[in-house]
A and B are shown apart, each in its own frame.
Chain A
Amino acid sequence: MLAAELAARGYIVDDALAMSVYLALRMQRPLFLEGAPGVGKTLLAGVLAELFETRLIRLQCYEGLDISQAAYEWNYPRQLLALQAHGRAAPGGASAAPEAAVDDLYREAFLMKRPLLQAIDAAAGRAPVLLIDEIDRADEEFESFLLELLGDFQITIPELGTIKARHRPIVVLTSNRTRDVHDALKRRCLYHWIDYPTLATELEIVRRKVPGLADHLRRRVVAFVQRLRREDLSKLPGVAETVDWAEAISHVGGAALEPATVDVTLGLLLKYHDDIERLRGPVVAQLLAESA
């Protein structure tokens, strides 16, 4: 089973996510993962690459991201040099055959392949996993460009022609939801909202990631984090934070999880000063007692 295959590589999925991943693979559709930071959206792409023994190509999105950074760019300095060289090679003849010079400029040798072009590039032996990370950070212009790419899995370079994917890449898009991604893009994908894991799932994740942590401490650590997520906080701790914190606790050691230990390591779980200030001391002690 897919879930088991993923679990074997340290990624625990619930039934709903397993179905979404399974259908995305079978139907060859991009998978759109939305959820709070630190719930393992990005990680899934890496695990899929590992599972299929293929390359992971990652595109980190940001505002202003354009084709030259995402898909391809011509190597302008080299082109300019080539042009100059061409002019020198034929003295006085630079204006004689400029067309030839131009044709010569837009060859693959001068093409710099950015992640999207790499992902559909026919030269790659097998379909890679393409991770388009934090699409919510990109702007609408880039979204509409992606629409085209995800529809046909091809990129048209005006000077060179259309490059079509021989093997459709496995595409994973993630969004932290700092803004709404346009429905048109989501429609082309299988959508899945990743929630924080259940107690059992998170225990399993920590067991695999931090094997050095004693059983009883692991239960205390995960129960405390799960209890924290019911608090009204600026930013809830994600799974990544749980794992970091579990790791820290495993180094501190001790027979039990003491409030004092939690207080000094709270910065690993909470990333806002306001949150830490509010919880440190009596609240931590109380939450610890409640989650015991």
Chain B
Amino acid sequence: MTLGDGQGDGPGDGSIAGQGPGDPPSHRARAGMTPGNGEHRGIGRPDARLRLGDEVIAFARALRDAGLPVGVDQSESFARALAWVDPLARGDLYLAARATLVFRREDLAVFDELFAAFFGGPRGPGAAPRAQATPIAPRHDRGEFFRTALVAYMAERAEPSAREVDVPEHSKAASGLELLQRKDFADCTAAELDAIARAMRDLRLDVTLRRSRRLVQARREGRLDLPRVVREAARRGGAVLALPRRTSKLRRRPLVVLADISGSMELYSRILLQFLHGVTRRHARTETFVFGTRLTRITGQLQIRDPSAALDHAAREIVDFAGGTRIGDCLHAFDRLHARRVLGRGAVVLIISDGWETGDPARLAAEMRRLSERAHRVVWLNPLLGRPGYAPEARGMAAALAYVDDFLPIHDLRSLHALAATLAQLPRRKGANRPPHAAMARAIPARVPPGAEVQR
């Protein structure tokens, strides 16, 4: 390879002997095909190059099936890249495929697995030892695995709402909805939950705005807009008649939701997931996570348009449910893996949980402190807060409260509307009314009327 020359023609233009795009190496096709796919791919075609092209397309399709966003552009650039490397050398084939087909770090593992399954043998150099440790499941088995996991999940998770009854059409009527406004999700029948889900569809969570550093035109406030001053002046032969200005653009704050789906939240999880689906889809800057003993990001799954398909996809990702709750550990995982990425730009964090912590409350408190330092505002939504006589005495809840800016119920439709109203009026300054820790716990009234906002 010659590097450092060919500058006059652009850096990439130096050609390698015998390997230019128009002058491909002679042995294009690889000998082995994936078993079971050989009949319709390649066999019988005289042109070896065509065969490789077919394989590229088939491999790209396999990646797409596995959920990687591989488009025609990617398969095309993979095919182009093959002109520059020796596809017979397995390492080169792997590295070229990886460089052109993967553009998200989280896709690398799936890619490695599929590459091994598709082209056989070890994966990339250096990854070989791992390949032996985990036998590669063929693609159809993966699908089977997903389906099984899904069925298991739906069976367990959807139990409370699965009591099948005929849905009378008039449940949609206004009078029915009026009653449903105050009915605790936990007490609702499947039909009622369906009606609630329909009513939730119009609910928007409009988080307050913040000033960004991007400038937009303004009339009176802000800095002088010199480009426009000159343009206007030029039009008037040099006379400056007006002083247009620019000011910073207002942007919606990002919303980050962390929802507890552990056993104690079981009666609320499904309807709240439906609620989160709507929120995630409508509010462009939402990141959604669920947790129990582990934290799972489900933003991508919830972005699917069809609610039931979205929930099904989310369900596939969720590995632990109806187990214990380790909120502190999950917040820690959030801090290490996601916080840097999603908490920037003044995010508002919603934690939905009843606060039953099975881990160490001190750890939860420490993690909450960290979270409250990094987020613009931390809102804790607790379904139990809607129950008469509830006091936040559970060990975890009491520990976390010191770092919570707003403590609100989330157990009926009305509380969802109250949440929307609160988010629309968050104070601009971070933590301005964040009380001293001790005072905070006292500020929570022992008895909270159902649906009422807690004012401090």
Which residues of A come within 8 Å of B, CB atoms?
Answer: 1-2, 5, 14-16, 19-20, 22-29, 32, 34, 51-54, 62-64, 66, 68, 73-74, 76-77, 79-80, 83-84, 86-87, 94-95, 98, 101-102, 105, 126-127, 139, 141, 167-168, 170, 176-180, 183, 186-187, 189-193, 232, 234
Contact = CB atoms under 8 A, between A and B. Distances in A.
Contacts of A64: 212-215, 248
Given A23-B84, A27-B77, A27-B80, A74 B230 contact: yes
Given A127-B10, A167-B10, A98 B84 contact: no
A59 to B, nearest CB: 16
Contact of A29 (B69, B71, B77, B335): B77
- Of residues B77, B99, B342, which shows the largest number of chain A Cβ atoms within 10 Å of its Cβ? B99
B238 interface: yes
A54 B227 CA distance: 33
A52 B226 CA distance: 39
A158 to B, nearest CB: 11
Nearest to B13: A28
Interface of B: 1, 3-4, 7-12, 69, 71, 73-74, 77, 80-81, 84-85, 91-92, 95-96, 98-100, 102-105, 108, 124-126, 212-215, 226-227, 229-230, 233-240, 248, 335-336, 340-342, 344-345
Given A19-B92, A52-B4, A76 B227 contact: yes
B227 A5 contact: no
B92 to A, nearest CB: 7
30 contacts: A2-B3, A16-B95, A16-B99, A23-B96, A26-B84, A28-B12, A63-B214, A64-B212, A76-B229, A79-B234, A80-B229, A80-B233, A83-B230, A83-B233, A95-B237, A105-B230, A105-B234, A126-B7, A127-B10, A139-B212, A167-B7, A167-B8, A167-B9, A168-B11, A170-B11, A180-B341, A190-B77, A190-B100, A192-B99, A232-B336
Contacts of B226: 76-77
B95 A27 contact: no
Contacts of B92: 19
B215 A66 contact: yes
Contacts of B229: 76, 80
- Mostly, the B contact residues are helix
Contacts of A94: 237-239
A53 B77 CA distance: 28
B10 A63 contact: no
Contact of B84 (A27, A68, A180): A27
Contact of A187 (B96, B103, B336): B103
Contacts of A34: 105
A25 B77 contact: no
Contacts of B85: 19, 23
- The residue in B8, B9, B238 that gathers the most chain A C-beta atoms within 10 A of its C-beta is B238
A246 to B, nearest CB: 25
A29 B10 CA distance: 12
A123 to B, nearest CB: 15
A172 to B, nearest CB: 12
